[in-house]
Amino acid sequence: MKKFVSLCYNISKGLRIMARTYKLIIVDNEYLVRKGIEKTVDWASLGIEVVAECDNGKQALEAVKKYAPDLIISDVRMPVMDGLELAERLAEADFDGAIIFYSGYNDFEYVRKALEYGVSGYLLKPEGNEQLTKKVLDTLAALEERRKKRNALESLASGAENIKEMYFSRLEDGVDDVNLRGQLSVLNIEFPSSGIVVCGRSLRVNDGAFGEFYGKFAEALENFGSIGRMGGGKFILVTALTDVEALRECAGRLLDECYAGTVYAAVGISEPFGIGLTMCEAAARARRAATPVLEVGGVYSGVERPSGGREKPKALVEAALALIYEHYAEKVTVKWAAEKLFVSESHLMHEFKVETGKTFNDCLKYYRIAKAKELLKQGTMRVNEIASAVGFSDGRYFGQVFREQVGVTPSEYAESVHEEE
């Protein structure tokens, strides 16, 4: 009767979990023991296939790489590599299966070590086939449950990323989607009630330095309740930190570090939100700040300037920019612009640097390249014609400046744009 009950247990348990074939590796340095485990249990009726037999742990590691088993039944004491070292190596490799020790040594230290390395069971030889079968089925049932939980967590994490992606996309468009934010809250992803929004975008195609910058910037802020996303050559990040100057300094330092020269990324920092300014409004300001008119790299503030002290210098620089916009295709110099504005060349250069963070000539080149990109997208002019049309008398120099700013040659840029279309 006892055997009948045990048999019923085995069959019913097997039917519940064996919706697939499980792969088994048997490890023992004694040939007869290995064959005994293989032949005395009807593994096929349990949905289990013996895919390998090994006489030590080293062979077993190779077999694991080859067959990716679900279960390993192993002796403990073996030459070359014993069962404990095998279990330790598999634990270090995040083995996605289970191990049962089947040993003749009833030693507490072995059992303790086995548990430490995540071994699922420890049976003493010569336990009967019923005990071994029961332990195998229990172990596979537990393995199946563990895998289901892991898959559920991975699915949940994937869903969270998709929802986060959608929320930030809406936030960049100036919409605080409370429904999506509520779903994120259920997934324990919370936004700070006060803080700062930082937006950034690359000014070049295939800009590896931009990705490096975002990784380091996000890492620097991870202890300040920060959450963000990056994709398509831009990023948006919300942080609980409210020190604008600290963020500006951090962003500027990391930009210099990652680009090691001319910076081809624009980073916009909002003023703190929470009182008098919503997160959505802060995001809009950060996004605008990260979109400088001349596409000049650097860190820009989304804080609206108060009227007062610098109105005249600001007006002077705006007038200089207007000259660039209108005459970029001509022979434009700082001296020419200063004469047009009735100021000294040195004064214009100083005020331009203070207001924009860049030199007059840098801004002129950026604007010319921006116009060149527009013409390349149209696809109606040759590269040398475009160079001349935007104010470059030397086609080779135009190509050099274009590559420095965009990351590819004018021809490569045109090809990439037309492929996307």
Q: Which residues contact 4 (CB under 8 A, 6 or more apart)?
A: none
Q: What's the CA gap between 13 and 377, in Å, rounded?
A: 65
Per-residue pLDDT at 113 exceeds 80: no
Q: By the 8 A CB rule, do 369 and 401 touch?
A: yes
Here the CATH number for the domain that contains residue 45 is 3.40.50.2300
Per-residue pLDDT at 306 exceeds 50: no
- C-alpha to C-alpha distances, 413 to 92, 202, 416, nearest whole angstrom: 46, 15, 5
Amino acid present at 104: G
**Statement to judge: residues 85 and 216 lie in one domain:** no
**Statement to judge: residues 286 and 339 lie in one domain:** no
**Statement to judge: residues 255 and 330 lie in one domain:** no
pLDDT score, position 304: 44
pLDDT score, position 406: 86
**Statement to judge: residues 290 and 325 lie in one domain:** no
Per-residue burial over 331-370, b if 16 or more Cβ lie within 10 Å, else e, is ebebeebbeebebeeeebbebbeebbbbebebbbbbbbbb
pLDDT digit string (tens) for 357-395?
788 998 899 889 989 998 998 889 999 999 999 999 999
Q: What's the average model confidence in pLDDT over 254-269? A: 86
**Statement to judge: residues 37 and 139 lie in one domain:** yes
Amino acid present at 149: K
Q: By the 8 A CB rule, do 239 and 224 touch?
A: yes
Per-residue pLDDT at 163 exceeds 50: yes
Per-residue burial over 293-321, b if 16 or more Cβ lie within 10 Å, else e, is ebbbbebbbbeeeeeeeeeebeebbeebb
**Statement to judge: residues 270 and 404 lie in one domain:** no
**Statement to judge: residues 286 and 337 lie in one domain:** no
What are phi and psi for residue 228, nearest 5 degrees? -165, 180
**Statement to judge: residues 142 and 124 lie in one domain:** yes
**Statement to judge: residues 106 and 129 lie in one domain:** yes
- Mean pLDDT over all residues of the chain? 84
Q: Is the pTM of this model over 0.75?
A: no
Q: What's the CA gap between 350 and 314, in Å, rounded?
A: 12
**Statement to judge: residues 390 and 283 lie in one domain:** no
pLDDT score, position 309: 44
Name which of 243, 242, 244, 216 is nearest 228 in CA terms: 216
pLDDT digit string (tens) for 193-250?
899 999 998 877 778 899 999 999 999 998 888 888 888 889 999 999 999 989 999 9
Please state, for a pLDDT cut of 70, what percent of the chain lies above it.
87
Would you say residue 23 lies in a domain? yes
Q: Residue 268 burial by CB count (10 A; 0-12/13-18/19+): exposed, middle or buried?
A: buried
Domain around 343 = 311-420
The count of structural domains within the chain is 3
